């Protein structure tokens, strides 16, 4: 068998797009634990130029890019006297994705990750996909580009990485369904009449996972699972009816794959993204160190139950969007990004997020979408629609 990561004789070069975030930090932690196997090529961030420069210097990256052009001087100053090259602006982020590297960790949040992901796929190398929004909004385009270039897309989202590990491609026609688990987030037991008063601070406190702000809110509304259902349908080429969701409050089982012969393969791990990241970076080999290990004897009880779609209707919206087509998936994502942004700025209530997505989806059309630029155009169109909708609440 081909060993991708062998004895360190061939160090793999790595881009980390979104290096200052939660997935970025977990990826750096995996690099630290496996020092001789990976070397950093490019690191990027949105606006924290000092943190980006610190990372670039500590990990000896070759190139650093900050999206916010106003931070260019800060980055320049912080990197002066080093050999690290630097740039600023959105175009520079996309451009950096064409610099050669064996792997790219796609860990930018939201649709902002799409241009660099799509650009990198041209190289025909390995995309480590954390940025689910790109697959949700441009799944067909990304898969086509990967097929053309020979690129691999290895899922990093823990549920999808779990499915990937249990999915026997040679028995694809014997897979009856895949199951993504959902923690249910911080409000799963909160009575419906109290959801209206949920604060940003409460929404950001996820019971099991430590993550960036946007995905934490997505987990609280369960829109994260809606995005993941769409992501899974594209990634594994399955009809929506074969992608199920079960609520599993303990976040130990991340995914299951059920076969026609009655076998149900489960992927288990601690709620620690380093496990999925380490797997994706080394596949088909395994690293010596990744995430925390489970103390299997300490697991008193694992529960799996269907989601409460009355209080959390988000997951239902994903099936609706998938049934309609890619424009509806873009509309769902755009309305959610806009509404979560407004909630984080405290100008929209928690419950209005899902309502906005639902109403925006009702307005979605079904045009053929042929390029990532068109995806971005539709995204902006539905963001505006979402804003009009919540103003009418």
Number of residues that bind ligand NAD (CB under 6 A): 26
Rounded Cα distance between 318 and 136, Å, is: 10
For the bound state, the minimum distance from the C-beta of residue 313 to ligand NAD, rounded and expressed in Å, comes to: 20
Sign, CA dihedral 344-349-354-358, equals negative
Q: CB atoms < 10 A from the CB of 3, how many? A: 11
Q: What does 75-105 look like in DSSP terms, one character per residue?
A: HHHHTTTSS-EEEESHHHHHHHTTS--SEEE
Secondary-structure percent of the chain, ordered helix, strand, coil, rounded to 5: 50, 15, 35
Asked if 97 touches ligand NAD (CB under 6 A), the answer is no
Rounded Cα distance between 112 and 89, Å, is: 12
> Which residue, 246 or 363, has its beta carbon nearer to ligand NAD?
246
Residues 10-29, interacting with ligand NAD (CB under 6 A):
18-24
3-state SS, residue 305: strand
Binding-site member from 102, 119, 133, 157 for Mg ion (CB under 5 A):
157
Asked if 46 touches ligand NAD (CB under 6 A), the answer is yes
For the bound state, the minimum distance from the C-beta of residue 271 to ligand NAD, rounded and expressed in Å, comes to: 9
Residues 148-167, interacting with ligand NAD (CB under 6 A):
157
Binding-site member from 273, 315, 321, 331 for ligand NAD (CB under 6 A):
273
Which strand (E) or helix (H) includes residue 43? strand 38-45
Residues 292-331, interacting with ligand NAD (CB under 6 A):
none
CA distances 390 to 183, 315, 383, 384, Å, are: 28, 20, 11, 10
251 binds, among ligand NAD, Mg ion, none (CB under 5 to 8 A by kind): none
Site string for ligand NAD, 61-90 (x = CB under 6 A): ------x-----------------------
Please give the residue whose beta carbon sits closest to ligand NAD in the complex: 21
Binding-site member from 184, 212, 307, 313 for ligand NAD (CB under 6 A):
212
For the bound state, the minimum distance from the C-beta of residue 73 to ligand NAD, rounded and expressed in Å, comes to: 18
Binding-site member from 49, 78, 175, 215 for ligand NAD (CB under 6 A):
215
> Which residue, 18 or 372, has its beta carbon nearer to ligand NAD?
18
Which strand (E) or helix (H) includes residue 65? strand 63-66
The length of the chain is 393
Q: Which two tokens stand for residue 40?
A: 């950093």
3-state SS, residue 156: coil
Please give the residue whose beta carbon sits closest to Mg ion in the complex: 157
Q: Note the residues at the interface with ligand NAD (CB under 6 A).
A: 18-24, 45-46, 67, 93, 107-109, 112, 130-133, 157, 209, 211-213, 215, 273
């Amino acid at each position: 068998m081909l060993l991708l990561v062998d004895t360190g004789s061939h160090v793999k070069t790595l881009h980390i797009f979104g290096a200052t975030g939660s997935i970025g930090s977990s990826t750096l932690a995996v690099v630290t634990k496996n020092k001789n196997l990976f070397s950093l090529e490019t690191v990027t961030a949105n606006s924290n130029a000092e943190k980006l420069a610190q990372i670039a210097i500590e990990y000896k990256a070759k190139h650093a890019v900050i999206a916010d052009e106003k931070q260019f001087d800060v980055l320049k100053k912080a990197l002066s006297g080093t050999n690290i090259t630097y740039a600023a602006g959105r175009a520079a982020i996309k451009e950096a994705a064409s610099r050669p590297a064996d792997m790219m960790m796609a860990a930018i949040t939201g649709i902002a990750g799409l241009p660099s992901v799509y650009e990198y796929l041209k190289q025909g190398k390995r995309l480590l996909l954390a940025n689910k929004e790109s697959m949700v909004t441009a799944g067909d385009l990304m898969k086509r580009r990967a097929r053309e270039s020979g690129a691999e897309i290895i899922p990093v989202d823990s549920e999808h990485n779990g499915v990937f590990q249990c999915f026997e491609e040679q028995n694809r026609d014997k897979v009856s369904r895949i199951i993504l688990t959902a923690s249910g987030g911080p409000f799963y037991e909160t009575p419906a009449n109290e959801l209206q008063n949920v604060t940003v601070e409460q929404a950001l406190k996820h019971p099991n996972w430590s993550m960036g702000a946007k995905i934490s809110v997505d987990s609280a509304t369960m829109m994260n699972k809606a995005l993941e259902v769409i992501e899974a349908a594209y990634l594994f080429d399955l009809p929506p009816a074969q992608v199920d969701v079960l609520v599993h409050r303990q976040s130990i089982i991340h995914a299951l794959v059920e076969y026609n012969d009655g076998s149900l393969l489960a992927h288990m791990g601690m709620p620690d993204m380093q496990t999925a990241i380490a797997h994706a970076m080394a596949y088909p080999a395994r690293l010596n160190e990744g995430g925390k290990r489970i103390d299997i004897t300490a697991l008193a009880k694992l529960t799996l139950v269907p989601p409460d779609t009355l209080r959390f209707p988000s997951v239902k919206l994903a099936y609706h969007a998938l049934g309609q087509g890619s424009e509806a998936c873009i509309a769902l994502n755009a309305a959610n990004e806009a509404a979560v942004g407004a909630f984080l700025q405290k100008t929209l209530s928690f419950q209005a997020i899902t309502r906005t997505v639902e109403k925006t989806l009702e307005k979605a059309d079904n045009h053929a979408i042929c390029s990532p630029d068109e995806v971005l155009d539709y995204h902006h169109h539905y963001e505006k629609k979402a804003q009009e909708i919540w103003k009418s609440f």
